[in-house]
Amino acid sequence: MNKLIGISGLAGDGKDSLCNMFRQLFEERGYEFERIALADSIKEECKDALLSLYGIDPIICSREDKSKIRDFLVFHGKVKRIETKGTHWTGKISKIISQFPKTKNDRIVCIPDIRHAEYENDEVYWLKKNGGILIHVKKYEIESAYPFKKIFSIPVNNEEATHTPKVEALADYVLEWQDTSPKPPEESHFSKQSVYELFSLIYGPLIETKSLSKSRKTKKNIENWPKSSGTAFAF
């Protein structure tokens, strides 16, 4: 059986970093882990047009080139969502998941770019209808003059500004972490500790697995997969 984790948050706030850190935690404990991004399907559909118009391959382009084509990708994603009332991209994700080979053990599937909750079958609702949980990430800096004041990231476009507040409100957990630039969160002790605590909160007390057999490792905690509660916790 596939168990879903969705991650939401503003661009650059660390959605992929959290996905990477969860991958390590799960794989260390014997679980299979897959990452599937909604944006990957958008890039695939736009690839030929972007190569023809701008000579940019959205799948392998640099961060600088990605910023140039972001509005194009956002527009195409929005058009397809409106046409299908939110089911176009989640349908592609569902198809990919259905094609995974059968496995005796549960597989964790992480979707690190949940962004919309506008339609009845939009991304957030699709995730929860399929038994998944949603984690919202928020990156902040500390204002030098006020050491206890957090300055959070701002949306990069109107789409983010419009949809992110609702998605955050529907999250099961909220992870706030400090900007560690230029070091990625994966290399920050404090970020790793926050993720470890969140992982522990969701999946129960962590058990050392070195001495456990593989069969025991793959069954631990997954049997008590949390139900979506709508309750948010900040770290």
Question: Could you tell me the residue range of the domain that residue 149 belongs to?
Answer: 2-36+106-224
Q: What's the token pair of residue 140? A: 């902040």
pLDDT tens digits along 143-196: 777 667 889 999 988 999 999 999 999 999 999 999 998 999 999 998 999 999
* Backbone φ and ψ of 81, nearest 5°: -65, -45
Residues listed for the chain: 235
- Please indicate, yes or no, if residue 44 is contained in any of the structural domains: no
Which domain CATH number covers 29? Answer: 3.40.50.300
49 belongs to a structural domain: no
224 C-beta neighbours (distance < 10 Å), count: 9
Residue 105 pLDDT more than 80?
no
Q: Does residue 24 fall inside a structural domain?
A: yes
Q: Amino acid identity of 148?
A: F
Does residue 47 lie within any of the structural domains? no
Identify whether 20 is part of a domain. Answer: yes
The backbone region for 18, taken as left when phi is positive above 0, alpha when psi lies in -120 to 50, beta otherwise, is alpha
Residue with tokens 């009332």: 85
pLDDT at 39: 93
**Tokens encoding 50:** 């972007």
Whole-angstrom Cα distance, residue 118 to residue 135?
Answer: 18
Which of the four pLDDT bands, split at 50, 70 and 90, describes residue 210?
very low
Q: Is residue 95 a part of any domain in this protein?
A: no
Answer yes or no: is 60 within a domain: no
Whether residue 182 has a cis bond before it, omega within 30° of 0: yes
Is 56 part of any domain?
A: no
Is the pLDDT reported for residue 211 higher than 90?
no
Strand, coil or helix: 1: coil
- For the stretch 116-145, pLDDT in tens is 999 999 999 999 999 999 999 999 998 777
* Average confidence (pLDDT) over 19-40: 93
Number of domains in the chain: 1
Q: What percent of the chain lies above the pLDDT cut of 70?
A: 85
Across the strands, what pairs with 2? 107
Check residue 203 and give its pLDDT: 78
Amino acid in position 131 = G
Q: pTM of the full predicted structure?
A: 0.85
Check residue 2 and report its DSSP letter: E
| CA–CA dist 134, 125 (Å, integer) | 10
Least confident piece of the model among 15-29, 141-155, 209-223: 209-223
Strands 107-111 and 150-152: unpaired
